[in-house]
Amino acid sequence: MPHNRVVVASPASFGMEPKEAALAPGGRVWTDDRGRETPGLELFRRGGSAWEAFGPPPAGVRIRLTTV
């Protein structure tokens, strides 16, 4: 069953409220076959676990982002 959660899109992890979930730049930088780098995004929960807050979902699960 899908879990709907509100997540803040943030330029950084600083300034987030405790237990607030955010999607921010971080993690691994990906390089495509042309040598272009794409920064990764991290879904996290400040002072907690995003994994636990979302279900917990299995590894590799797809997520869908929409704006509100």
Sheet of 8-9, strand order: 8-9, 21-31, 37-45
Contact 24, 43 (CB under 8 A): no
Q: Which residues contact 48 (CB under 8 A, 6 or more apart)?
A: 18, 19
Work out how many domains the chain is built from and give that number. Answer: 1
Domain that holds residue 57: 1-68
Q: What is the CA radius of gyration of the chain?
A: 13
**pLDDT, position 3:** 62
**pLDDT, position 35:** 93
State pLDDT tens for residues 26-61. Answer: 878 889 899 999 888 888 888 888 888 888 888 888
